[in-house]
């Protein structure tokens, strides 16, 4: 503890005209009321406060350091949204040609397997007879706008893009296994993959995911109740996204990068193997 100063020193060292009898707990200098910063014990002068802050270790929020590296701007999320909107406009301008070229039908899997991914960027075309088709792209893009930046910030751009595409692939694989003679489009499978990943990650970080679980449950149930909704794609995307997120969580350390790439590659290989067998 600092010793009391002499009467001749009972003036603030920063403001010599201001008399004070309060000493800095660290250096013992006299400080006036303006220069005092309350500490756990006593008060500190501005210089001691500044020195303590400089020595303190820089800490990032735990939610940011959960993965490497974090992305400050959700470039991938906004790019996906922009691409979906451009494709939607192209569908209208081309008179349905873009829809026919990119939509996914299980019967085309063997000859045009890329449709299992491109379908995630296509949405129900607008028609005067079905103006509610606008809700398809609007709801998906709104969901991506809400959850995409959060996950991209947590995972980084490359991991987030991989998560999105693998989830879309998983949704198409589920359609291949569980549906036939249908044509499916939309980012719903990928969106459910993001929801599944967010649930897994938030649960590991200790967040409250009850509301998210309710949202996922409601959307899955609606997929069964509302006609012309591919609940199979929702389920497949949810499982694939959850699996990728689980791998990310288990391989977060820098020395586990090869394991992470290998395990994510194994998920893709498994989905591809199922596709080959089911389409054969």
State the catalytic residues: 188, 234
DSSP conformation letters of the chain: -PPPPPGGG-B-SS-TTSB---BBTTT--B--GGG-EE-SSSEE-HHHHHHHHHHSPP---TTTTTSSS--SS-HHHHHHHHHHHHHHHHHHHTTTHHHHHH-B-GGGTTT-TTHHHHGGG--PPPBTTBGGGHHHHHHHHHHHHHHHHHHHHHH-HHHHHHHHHHHHHHHHHHHHHH--S--B-SSHHHHHHHHHHHHHHHHHTT---HHHHHHHHHHHHHHHHSTT--HHHHHHHHHHHHHHHHHHHHT-SGGGHHHHHHHHHHHHHHHHHHHHHHH-
């Amino acid at each position: 503890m600092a010793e009391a100063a002499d009467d001749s020193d009972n003036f603030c060292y920063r403001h010599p005209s201001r008399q004070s009898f309060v000493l800095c707990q660290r250096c013992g200098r006299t400080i006036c009321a303006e220069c005092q910063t309350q500490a756990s014990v006593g008060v500190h002068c501005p210089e001691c406060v500044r020195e303590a802050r400089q020595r303190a270790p820089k800490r990032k929020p735990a939610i940011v350091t959960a993965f490497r590296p974090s992305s400050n701007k959700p470039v991938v999320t906004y790019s996906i949204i922009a691409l979906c909107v451009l494709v939607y406009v192209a569908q209208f301008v081309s008179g349905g040609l873009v829809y026919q070229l990119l939509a996914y039908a299980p019967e085309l899997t063997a000859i045009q397997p890329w449709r299992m991914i491109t379908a995630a960027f296509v949405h129900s075309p607008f028609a005067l007879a079905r103006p509610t088709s606008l809700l398809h792209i609007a709801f998906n893009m709104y969901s991506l706008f809400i959850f995409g930046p959060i996950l991209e910030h947590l995972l980084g751009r490359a991991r987030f893009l991989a998560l999105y595409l693998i989830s879309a692939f998983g949704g198409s694989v589920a359609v291949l296994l569980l549906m036939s003679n249908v044509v499916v489009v939309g980012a719903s499978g990928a969106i459910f993959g993001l929801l599944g990943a967010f649930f897994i990650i938030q649960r590991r970080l200790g967040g409250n995911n009850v509301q998210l679980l309710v949202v996922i449950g409601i959307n899955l149930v609606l997929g069964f109740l509302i006609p012309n909704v591919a609940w199979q794609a929702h389920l497949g995307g949810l499982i694939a996204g959850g699996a990728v997120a689980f791998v990310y969580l288990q391989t977060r350390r820098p020395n586990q990068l090869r394991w992470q790439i290998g395990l994510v590659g194994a998920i893709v290989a498994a989905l591809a193997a199922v596709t080959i067998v089911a389409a054969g």
